[in-house]
Structures are given as structure tokens and as C-alpha cells.
Amino acid sequence: MRPDQIKDEIDGLELSEKLILVEDVWDSIAASNAEIPMPEWQKTELDKRYKEYKEGKLELHDWNTVHKEFRDKYK
């Protein structure tokens, strides 16, 4: 089936059916997550940040503070 045919089929679904389909697609993506390669630039950046974390060079913020700042910013 071509992508445009799939879209047409999806457009004909009820909202509840679309939500189930999205959940199924997401589960399928998550199940194959190990197959998604990490770009080298991303691995390099993560390694750099982890090293800075281990050396105590990063300013860390707890989730509650970050969450509150975002809530206050986007009221």
C-alpha cells in the first residue's frame, strides 16, 4: 500500500480507532528502538556531557524546579 493510500484509510477511521493505531505504531517503534542507530555527533555530545557530569562541571537542576519554571514561563 502506498503512503497516500494509507493516509486515506486513516482519514476514514473514527478518532478512537486513530488513537489505537497511533498507540500500536508507537509500540512498534519502541520495540525496534535498538535498531535505530545513534549518529556519531550525538554520541560525541552525550559522552562529553557525561564526562562533564562525572567531573562535577555541570549545574544540575531537579525536575520539580525545571517543571515549575516552565509552568511559570508559559502560563
Which tens digits make up the pLDDT trace of 14-72? 999 999 999 999 999 888 876 778 899 999 999 999 999 999 999 899 999 999 999 99
* Alpha helices per DSSP H over 1-75: 3-11, 15-31, 40-54, 63-73
User: What phi, psi does 21 have (nearest 5°)?
Assistant: -65, -45
pTM (predicted TM-score): 0.46
Averaged pLDDT for residues 4-21? 95
